[in-house]
Structure formats: C-alpha cells, structure tokens
C-alpha cells in the first residue's frame, strides 16, 4: 500500500464535510484522506495537491476531483485558478508518506542503503547529497540542532566534514558510517532519525513552506470553514498551533482598538488529538502524530 492514512477518521470528521462543499487536501500522497472526503461529497469538489510525481499516479478519475501537481506553498494561486469561491475545508497531513520511507532510492529511511536524496519533488536541484557535501560546519550544525534537536550537533557536523574530505558521502550507509561515533548502542535509531529528519527538512525547506501555506489558509476559507492539520514533530506542531491561535507564525495575538482578538480562527481543539494505542500498533508512523483543528471566524 502506498500509505496508511494517519488519524483518518478524526481528521476527516474535523472537516465537517458538506455534500456540496469545496475542499482541499494539500498532501494527497496515496489518496487515503481524499478518498474519505470524496465519499462524503455529492455536488461538491475536492482539490488535491502533491509535488511528488509518484503520488500523481494515485489521482482519481472522478468529476468531483482535481489533482494539482504542485507544492502546497503555491496553494492559494492554484486554487484561485480553478475557482473564485472560498473553501469549506483544508486538510494537511504533513511529513513523509510510508511509500517514500519504504522506497530505498528516495533516501528517506535509515533502514535501507540508498542514494542520499530526500527530495519530495524530484525537480528540486538540492538533494541531501549536496547538503552533506557542500554545507559549512556552521550550517550543518544549525540544521542538526534546530531541525533535528541533535545533541552535540557541532561534533556530528565535524565528523561528516572529516568523512567527506576523504570521499563524497552520497549514500545513507556512508552517512551512517560517518556519524557512528554519535549513535551509541541502544540509541542508534533515535539519533539517526533525528539526523535524517533534519536533512529532509532542509532539503525540502519544510518549515518555510509550511509557514507560507498556513499564511494563505485564512484568506481561502469561508466563515465556518475548517483547517485540519496533522503534524509529526514539535517544530511543525508549534507553527500550526501559533497560526490557529493567533493567525501568525509568532503566536502573538493582535487585538483591535476595543481589545477584541483579531485572530481569524477559533480553536476546535484546545489540545492536539493523538492516535489511539490501537492505531499506533497498526501503524507505527502514527506514534508522533498531532492533529489540530480550527474554524474560520
């Protein structure tokens, strides 16, 4: 299977799908969430985004469905190309699909040996090999520290630079070998996951893309429309929470002259919804998922 949708029922329930509503799934992937949305639509329409050419193969042949092969940082522009109306709901399931993790040549997983790629968009000129072999010590340290919360990030960066001085580090195995001094027994998987996550976020500019996307959502939703986002690490979740609470990336609540909140949303979930133990047992990827829902005022 391409991808097991995480928090499928709860996230689609959060959209409150109307039979005649307009919706966007900006992370189409294998189409699991989209299929669930379409099952509740009659005269409405669903727009789905995905920059991964492999995901395009899963697009539905359905008059109620439009697939847009683009990064969701361009969400607003492409929705406005297709409709002049506002949307009733927007869904984003962030992170990497099971299919991407399970395809060795994509380089996302620590489990396989493959090229250090990690691009979600294969047309992206920057892949993980370029990052590992050309970034300065300071730049690598910042990436591992901020995006991966890696302890001793400066030492990890130094060992990578030492390794690349001997030969180009271009496979996942070579990278793991370069950082093995910092992956003590019993903690290998955790540390490697942090390093790989940091590289993936940098290659795909995930935080910048997410901030751009979230900044467009309020303009594109009807009053009463729902924004539903599933995130997988604290950086993403903090940004989502800030936008839903205040309408901006910094989480600063602005007020009008009379002291009223100017946030474009009201929170449907005060705390994130997390997967049940049963879902985690069936799909280990769900373990770190956090679902937040807000409604356009």
Give the pair of three-digit tokens for residue 171: 């496979």
pTM here is 0.93
What tokens appear for 166 in the block?
């001997």
Residue 98: what pLDDT? 64
In tens digits, what is the pLDDT along the chain, a chain of 297 residues? 456 799 999 999 999 999 999 999 999 999 999 999 999 999 999 999 999 888 999 999 999 999 999 999 999 999 999 999 999 999 999 977 666 766 766 777 787 889 999 999 888 999 999 999 999 999 999 999 999 999 999 999 999 999 999 999 999 999 999 999 999 889 899 999 999 999 999 999 999 999 999 999 999 999 999 999 999 999 999 999 999 999 999 999 999 999 999 999 999 999 999 999 999 999 888 999 999 999 999
In CATH terms, the fold of domain 105-204 is DNA polymerase; domain 1 (1.10.150)
Instruction: List Cα–Cα distances, 117 to 122, 125, 151, 242, 253, in angstroms.
Output: 9, 10, 24, 31, 39
Contact indicator for 164, 136 with CB cutoff of 8 Å: no
Residue ranges of domains in the chain? 8-98+206-296, 105-204
The pLDDT assigned to 1 comes to 46
CATH homologous superfamily of domain 8-98+206-296?
Vaccinia Virus protein VP39 (3.40.50.150)
According to the model, what pLDDT value does residue 110 have? 80
CB 153 within 8 A of CB 141: yes
Determine how β-strand 65-68 pairs with β-strand 45-49: parallel
Identify which of 183, 199, 193, 179 has the alpha carbon closest to the alpha carbon of residue 139.
199
Say how far apart CA 4 and CA 285 lie, in whole Å. Answer: 9
Tell me, what's the pLDDT at 48?
Answer: 98
Give helix 153-166 / helix 137-148 axis angle, nearest 10°. Answer: 130
What pLDDT does 101 receive?
67
């Amino acid at each position: 299977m391409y991808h097991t949708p995480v928090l499928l029922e709860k996230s689609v329930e959060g959209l409150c799908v109307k039979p005649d509503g307009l919706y966007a799934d900006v992370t189409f992937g294998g189409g699991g969430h989209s299929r669930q949305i379409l099952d509740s639509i009659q005269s409405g329409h669903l727009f789905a985004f995905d920059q991964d050419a492999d995901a395009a193969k899963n697009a539905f042949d359905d008059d109620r469905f439009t697939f847009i092969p683009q990064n969701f940082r361009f969400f607003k522009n492409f929705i406005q190309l297709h409709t002049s109306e506002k949307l009733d709901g927007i869904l984003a399931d962030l992170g990497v699909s099971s299919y991407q993790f399970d395809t060795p040549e994509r380089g996302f997983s620590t489990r396989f040996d493959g090229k250090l790629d990690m691009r979600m968009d294969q047309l992206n000129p920057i892949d993980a090999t370029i990052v590992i072999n050309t970034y300065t010590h300071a730049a690598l340290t910042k990436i591992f520290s901020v995006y991966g919360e890696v302890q001793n990030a400066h030492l990890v960066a130094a060992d990578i630079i030492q390794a690349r001085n001997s030969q180009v580090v271009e496979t996942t195995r070579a990278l793991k070998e370069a950082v093995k001094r910092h992956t003590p027994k019993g903690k290998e998987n955790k540390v490697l996951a942090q390093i790989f996550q940091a590289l993936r976020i940098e290659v795909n500019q995930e935080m910048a893309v997410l901030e751009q996307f979230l900044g467009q959502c309020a303009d594109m939703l009807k009053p009463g429309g729902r924004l539903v986002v599933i995130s997988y690490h604290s950086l993403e979740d903090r940004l989502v929470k800030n936008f839903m609470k205040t309408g901006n990336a910094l989480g600063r609540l602005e007020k009008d002259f009379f002291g009223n909140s100017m946030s474009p949303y009201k929170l449907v979930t005060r705390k994130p919804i997390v997967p049940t133990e049963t879902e985690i047992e069936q799909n280990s990827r769900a373990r770190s998922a956090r679902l937040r829902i807000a409604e356009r005022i």
